[in-house]
Amino acid sequence: MDPSQLHCLSAGEAARAIAAGQISAEQLVQACLARIREVEPAVQAWQFLDEAHALAQARARDADRAEGRPCGPLHGVPVGVKDIIDTADMPTEDGTPLHAGRTPDRDATVVAALRAAGAVIMGKTVTTECAAYTPGKTRNPHDASRTPGGSSSGSAAAVAAGMVPLAIGTQTNGSVIRPASFCGVYGFKPTFGLIPRHGILKLSRTLDTVGLFARSLDDLALLAAPLVGHDERDPDTRPRARIPFTETLASPPPLPPRFGFVKTPIWERSDESTREAFAELVQALGGTAGGVVEEVEMPPAWAEAWGWQRCIMEAEMAFNLDAEWQRGREQLSPALRQQLERGRAIAALHYQLAQARIPQLLGALEEWFARFDALITPATPGVAPPAETTGDPAFCTLWSLAGVPALNLPLLSGPGGLPLGVQLVGERARDARLLRSARWLQERVLS
Amino acid sequence: MDPSQLHCLSAGEAARAIAAGQISAEQLVQACLARIREVEPAVQAWQFLDEAHALAQARARDADRAEGRPCGPLHGVPVGVKDIIDTADMPTEDGTPLHAGRTPDRDATVVAALRAAGAVIMGKTVTTECAAYTPGKTRNPHDASRTPGGSSSGSAAAVAAGMVPLAIGTQTNGSVIRPASFCGVYGFKPTFGLIPRHGILKLSRTLDTVGLFARSLDDLALLAAPLVGHDERDPDTRPRARIPFTETLASPPPLPPRFGFVKTPIWERSDESTREAFAELVQALGGTAGGVVEEVEMPPAWAEAWGWQRCIMEAEMAFNLDAEWQRGREQLSPALRQQLERGRAIAALHYQLAQARIPQLLGALEEWFARFDALITPATPGVAPPAETTGDPAFCTLWSLAGVPALNLPLLSGPGGLPLGVQLVGERARDARLLRSARWLQERVLS
């Protein structure tokens, strides 16, 4: 292998090569650091990156292997971590001057799980301000005038730009699927409650979900497996059996999966080119007449769900960022300040009424998932817009509210050849099956 | 046994006599019905009671035994059920004209558990309006000019008046411990989440707790055991091991229990006679100098907890009674209407801030429970007041907020010889141990 091209390896390839002694973790991290030096000036994906510290971790992993210590599934593989996720050895500044210089004592549960799996924590990736809407410095690797999407901006951009094969982020509304769509990488927001959130900046207990970025479905599976778990400090996680992500993804579906194509009540927000691209995608899958795809109509009443999500998100943000509001609201962006003001004005009655809609929504979705293995819907209204915003999360909102697993597949392109994602949505707790259905669809489309 | 006195048996005595064939369930229910005919005109504990239906259940239990079918721990024992708890064979009217004639399809989980244990569902006991503060028709069996307390008014009064040996109710603020204190019976509010609430009028998800009434600790244990369980339809219950209530209560404590006497920041609300009675109780236990009781000071900041409880309760009541508000608020009492108006005005931010205090409170209580087996505190400020109100629940508020188990022991009497309760409070999920400590204390006081 050409040592200068090791950053192009998938995480799975890299882990296997390290395990087999074909390459060292240090060589891999060196190649990724070289790639970062090359493209970071344009992309600006990193909030914190200490080359020496990354290399020291890599050498420690190489020493593990040399001394015969057990190696985890991500042994020696560098992973980017969104800068709202605590790391004991690096600052975690949450994208706000209010937390500048913040240095947590401990790793978040997911970071500890990554280290236990052998990963090298490469550095901290840029987040929007408090994982809300105000952009950080990161630019889209495909066009530096455009946004990478947010709020997991740096994680998506770093994976897209070949700086790291894997990264983790979080989604409360569209913060994983949207940047994955804009940056042209695979994004995965698992079922709510699957991955513990302890040690991560809280925005919304009801909605916050850890999400993953990679350049293939296999790599998503590889990354997801060690992160799933029960942590008493995240009361929405539960003890559950190990999920065989990689094994399920490697096996063919017992029956050809069936897909529901859902335009959703916000279809009019999508660009013309997006509508055309999805029409072509449905054609490529054999059309809606007797093919594997059926177009499903969402009851117009569901349009209210966007308001419920906003009510819950803003009410919970006002609570979780109350200390920041009290201490230094003048240091928040006007957009975030307005959002928190709205959240502070929400009545407990409306908040509870919105919460009560989630089980209703899940009940309605259950009927669809009795007919379909997955739903197909846009990830974003179109390609990445100019960098002043992080783009519209609306095509992710409903699935964040429902807590169902969602994937971004970078299968389409829009104006200017910019990436455009296909979002696949699955049933709660059927995450591995969603990955398998995604592979089946992707092979069909790309063949 | 004198058949006319069977209503005086404890539930345990009755169950054993039925199991041994010494009496029939029908004889027991006949005796209870006779007692009801005698005292109901003054007490008015029942919202619904169909003698023929109660007797039919009793005869069916006798037939079970005659035919060798398995008999549960409450086989043939009549139980009163608060009229906010659904019963498939009787109306459940929630103490409001808005639900007049309401006939549920199904039993609440606790009613199904009672039937599975062999109990005869005697009838539905009077509740205050929607289990809030506006009194129903029930009067105190010790003095018909006074309140039985609320909201589980009929359940407490029926047990106190010898109409049934057992009854169930609910507590959101003080609705089990308070009527038990005023009526002079044992009351038990178990740990939050121990007994499923599915099929019971919801006031407050965070606070609502099923509670029990009996005339002895043994009977509380007998009744509690079959009610504890996991029900997916109550998301605050969890799978857990069977709790050996009766066995624990029957065994002596391994060490003499230690008690903390807590006046709480609302001590000034208690009557002079209550303060004297508690001073005597502490003396009877050997005083606070080297005895089994130590007086503990509650930090004055805890006085805020009453406001948190009210915020949570009223915000959640506004949500849970929103349909009633929309449909017919003019049919609600002015007091309930005002309470719902206050609840509707609460901000989601304050509601969440109040919720966040519960784990803090539990953390602080944990330190006390490292030193004490139970806390001793008044159940009510004094004896039952006149029947225009249901009395002050304030001595129950903190323990309802914390979700810790609480007991009323009818050990004291106040002015006019009226009953006055001693409240014992235990650690979460140590309910059986709390009963055992209560027995130890009671034997010491009564000996």
Length of chain A: 447
Q: Cα–Cα–Cα angle for A413, A414, A420, nearest 5°?
A: 55
How far apart are the C-alpha atoms of B187 and B191, rounded to whole Å? Answer: 13
Chain A to chain B Cβ contacts (< 8 Å): 51
- DSSP assignment, residue A353? H
Instruction: For residue B304, count other CB atoms closer than 10 A to its CB.
Output: 12
Written as six digits, the tokens of B165 are 């040996």
Name the pLDDT band for A291 (thresholds 50, 70, 90).
confident
Whether pLDDT at A1 is above 80: no
**Mean pLDDT to the nearest integer, A200-206:** 98
| Distance from the Cα of residue A19 to its chain's centroid | 27
Element (H, E) at B134: none
How far apart CA B356 and CA B305 sit, in angstroms, is: 11
Tokens, residue A426 = 């699955």
Chain B CB contacts of A356 below 8 Å: 319
Which two three-digit tokens encode residue B159? 């047990």
pTM: 0.94
Beta bridge partners of B123: B80
Q: Among partner residues B316, B322, B347, which is closest to A346 by beta-carbon distance?
A: B347
pLDDT tens-digit map of A70-122: 999 999 999 999 999 999 999 999 999 999 999 999 999 999 999 999 999 99
List chain A residues with CB under 8 Å of B350: 348
Minimum distance, in Å, between the CA of residue A236 and any CA atom of chain B: 11
Residue A290: per-residue pLDDT: 67
Are A319 and B356 within 8 A, CB to CB? yes
Summarised one tens digit per residue, pLDDT across range A138-195 is 999 999 999 999 999 999 999 999 999 999 999 999 999 999 999 999 999 999 999 9
Phi/psi of residue A126, each to 5°? -65, 135
Q: What is the pLDDT of residue A288?
A: 73
**In the numeric block, which tokens belong to residue A221?**
């599976």
- The position carrying tokens 């509650």 is B298
Tell me whether residue A270 is one of the annotated catalytic residues: no
Domain B3-243, CATH 3.90.1300.10 — does that match? Answer: yes
A225-252 mean pLDDT: 95
Cα–Cα distance, A270 to B236 (Å, whole number): 41
How large is the average pLDDT for residues A428-435?
97
Question: Could you say which of 1.10.10.410, 2.60.40.420, 1.10.8.60, 3.90.1300.10 is the CATH number of the domain covering A3-240?
Answer: 3.90.1300.10
Give the list of residues 6+ apart from residue A291 with CB closer than 8 angstroms, or none: A282, A285
- pLDDT tens readout for residues B395-421: 999 999 999 999 999 999 999 999 999
User: Which chain B residues are closer than 8 Å to A316 by Cβ?
Assistant: 352
Q: Which of A24, A153, A175, A400 is catalytic?
A: A175
CATH 3.90.1300.10 residue window(s) in chain A: 3-240, 250-304+350-446
The answer to whether residues B179 and B150 touch, using CB atoms and an 8 Å cutoff, is yes
Angle at B428 between CA B422 and CA B432, to 5 degrees: 65
Tokens standing for residue A184: 């042209």
- Name the β-bridge partners of B143: B140
For chain A, what is the HEC assignment? CCHHHHHHCCHHHHHHHHHCCCCCHHHHHHHHHHHHHHHHHHHCCEEECCHHHHHHHHHHHHHHHHCCCCCCCCCCCEEEEECCECCCCCCCCCCCHHHCCCCCCCCCHHHHHHHHCCCEEEEEECCCHHHCCCCCCCCECCECCECCCCCCHHHHHHHHCCCCCEEEEEECCCCCHHHHHHHCCEEEECCCCCCCCCCECCCCCCCCEEEEEECCHHHHHHHHHHHCCCCCCCCCCCCCCCCCHHHHHHCCCCCCCCEEEECCCCHHHCCHHHHHHHHHHHHHCCCCCCCCEEEECCCHHHHHHHHHHHHHHHHHHHHHCHHHHHHHHHHCCHHHHHHHHHHHHCEHHHHHHHHHHHHHHHHHHHHHHHHCCEEEEECCCCCCCECCCCCCCHHHHHHHHHCCCEEEEEEEECHHHCEEEEEEECCCCCHHHHHHHHHHHHHHHHC
Contact B395, B179 (CB under 8 A): no
CB contact under 8 A, A348 and B353: no
Cβ–Cβ < 8 Å for B420, B277: yes
Which DSSP category does A419 fall into?
Answer: E
Q: What is the ipTM of this complex?
A: 0.92
Look at residue B261 and tell me whether its pLDDT is greater than 70: yes
Locus of tokens 């850890």: A210
List alpha helices for A44-106, DSSP H: 51-66
The residue ranges of DSSP E strands in B190-339, in sequence order, are 209-214, 259-262, 293-296
How far is the C-alpha of B167 from the C-alpha of B18, rounded, in Å?
Answer: 19
Tokens of B309: 């409880």
Residues of chain B positioned with their CB less than 8 A from the CB of A343: 348-349
- Which 8-state DSSP code applies to residue B143? B
Active site includes A263?
A: no
pLDDT tens digits along B117-171: 999 999 999 999 999 999 999 999 999 999 999 999 999 999 999 999 999 999 9
Whether pLDDT at B229 is above 80: yes
With contact defined as beta carbons under 8 Å apart, do A425 and A377 qualify? yes
Q: Of A344, A353, A356, which has the smallest distance from its Cβ to B349's Cβ? A: A344
Catalytic residue among A24, A82, A181, A189: A82
Contact (CB<8Å) B348/A322: no
Out of A318, A352, A353, whose CB is closest to B349? A318
Q: Annotate A126-157 with b (16+ C-beta within 10 A) or e (fewer).
A: bbbbbbbbbbbebbbbbbeebbbbbbbbbbbb
Helix, strand, or coil (residue B272): helix
Instruction: Provide the pLDDT for residue B286.
Output: 83
Residue the block writes with tokens 């937390």: A99
From the CA of A116, how many Å to the nearest CA of chain B?
A: 30
Encode pLDDT of B60-85 as tens digits.
Answer: 999 999 999 999 999 999 999 999 99
Summarised one tens digit per residue, pLDDT across range B272-328 is 999 999 999 999 888 777 679 999 999 888 999 999 999 999 999 999 999 999 999
For residue A191 the two structure tokens come to 């079922």
Structure tokens at A30: 């060196």
Judge whether A346 is closer than 8 Å to chain B, CB to CB.
yes
Q: Is B377 helix (H, G, I), strand (E, B) or coil?
A: strand
Q: Do A348 and B319 touch (CB under 8 A)?
A: yes
Residue B263 a catalytic site member: no
Q: Provide CB contacts within 8 A for B437, sequence distance 6+.
A: B253, B257, B259, B373, B374, B424, B426
Tell me the sheet residues that pair with B189.
Answer: B406
Q: How far apart are CA B79 and CA B123, in angstroms?
A: 8
The fold for domain A250-304+350-446 equals Amidase signature (AS) enzymes (3.90.1300)
Angle at B166 between CA B161 and CA B172, to 5 degrees: 95
**Cα angle at B366 between B374 and A109, to 5 degrees?**
150
Residue the block writes with tokens 């293995």: A373
Chain B residue nearest residue A345, CA to CA: B347
Q: pLDDT (tens digit, 9 = 90+) per residue, B107-123?
A: 999 999 999 999 999 99
Q: Where in chain B is the domain with CATH 3.90.1300.10?
A: 3-243, 250-304+350-446
Q: Which positions ≥6 away from A408 have C-beta within 8 Å?
A: A176, A177, A180, A181, A185, A186, A187, A188, A379, A421, A422, A423
Q: For residue B300, what pLDDT is reported?
A: 87
Rounded Cα distance, B371 and B255, in Å: 13
Cβ(B86)–Cβ(B69) under 8 Å? no
Predicted pLDDT of residue A258: 96
Tokens 């994976």, located at residue: A159
Nearest CA among B288, B164, B148 for reference residue B223: B164
- Residues β-bridged to residue A293: A259
Chain A nearest CA to B316, separation (Å) = 7
